[in-house]
Structure 1
Amino acid sequence: MNDVVQLDLFGEEDLSAPAPPVLNGMYYERATDKFVSYVLGRRHFEASPGDCLGDKAWKEKTKRERAI
């Protein structure tokens, strides 16, 4: 007869690794040079730097600290 082989269906997935963070809030996207808002990890709204409501200091801080 054939030998029985037990398959390890869940052995490759590492459950101890932390999940990637879900984006929430306004970010600056370098690739498109736009400010982009994310809600629960999904892209919600985007605006060019000229159209974005916010003062120059806020835009510079966001570009520096929240660039993706």
Structure 2
Amino acid sequence: MNALHQYLFDAYRAALHDEPAPPVPGTHDLAALRAARDHRRFEAVLAGRPATHRVRTALHRWLHPGAC
């Protein structure tokens, strides 16, 4: 059973019991990704590393070793 089947089953069950339907699958995906990104940035700040442009900075250091 995939997520869509489970959602349809839960929505049907909620309708039978006059309860609100569950959220559609994928509704909170972007919020979860943003929360993970924010947590990663927070951990970087606590560790004393830059919180933004980390990949760009690492790539720049790799491509231009004498510039930094």
Same fold (TM over 0.5): no
Higher RCO by CA contacts (8 Å cutoff, separation 6 or greater): 1
- Using the size of structure 2 for normalisation, the TM-score is 0.25
Greater fraction of residues in helix: 2
More strand by share: 1
